[in-house]
Amino acid sequence: IVQLNQTLIIGDGEVALEVTQIIDQDTIKVRMLNNGVLQYMRPINIRSDQDIGEIAEKYIGIINKVKDLDVRFVSIPYIEKSINEIIKSKLGKPLNKIRKLKKIIKIGSIGSLKDIDSILSDPFYDMVIFNRGLAGVNFPYERVGLMQKEIVKKAKKQKKSIIIFTDILESTMKNFIP
């Protein structure tokens, strides 16, 4: 699923790796491109063949455990249209049982920006998060501000509240990319 010379970004750009050798289907050799620190529980975007139904069932279990805790917000990452439709179909009923719960869609990936108009017009989601860090990892970082401006404009048109995630100052000082 990875390719030679592909750059892999861990977290929000703290660590950048370049694939130098594909040893077998489970093992790759990489070269570190910066002096970042590998931290516990930081995401790395490599495609997975994990069944989305299994993932949804795990989330339903979590929702059932926290629904009595007066949860007010739940954030759902946008992966791609077909996967998010499965997530909505499996999680919609348990989420709708929680009073006053706001469902927030988190965008910043390539798929989410391609489908932005249908995401923003989807009544399932009450709010939108634009993750600048994720967008900066997935797109040339010089485009992030323009994307943010366009998404805010479209969200306002759909009357959706929008949250902007950013940590731009710190990330420009220590990360491979801001």
Q: pLDDT per residue over 3-31, tens digit each? A: 888 888 777 667 888 899 999 988 999 99
State residue 12's pLDDT score: 64
Mean pLDDT of all residues in 138-145? 80
Q: What is the mean pLDDT of the chain?
A: 80
Q: pLDDT per residue over 144-164, tens digit each? A: 889 999 999 999 999 999 999
Q: Name the pTM for this structure.
A: 0.65
The DSSP string of the chain is ---TT-EEEETTTTEEEEEEEEEETTEEEEEE-S-----TT--B-------HHHHHHHHHHHHHHHGGG---EEEEE---HHHHHHHHHHHHHHHHTSTTPEEEEEE-SHHHHHTHHHHHH-TT-SEEEEEHHHHHHHS-GGGHHHHHHHHHHHHHHTT-EEEEE--HHHHHHHSS--
C-beta contacts of 61-65 below 8 A and 24+ residues apart: 63/91, 63/94, 63/95, 63/98, 64/94
State residue 158's pLDDT score: 94
State residue 171's pLDDT score: 62
pLDDT at 142 > cutoff 70 = yes
Confidence of residue 173 (pLDDT cuts 50, 70, 90): low
State residue 47's pLDDT score: 46
Percent of the chain with pLDDT strictly greater than 90 = 26
pLDDT at 52 > cutoff 70 = no
Q: pLDDT per residue over 105-133, tens digit each? A: 998 877 788 889 999 999 999 999 998 87
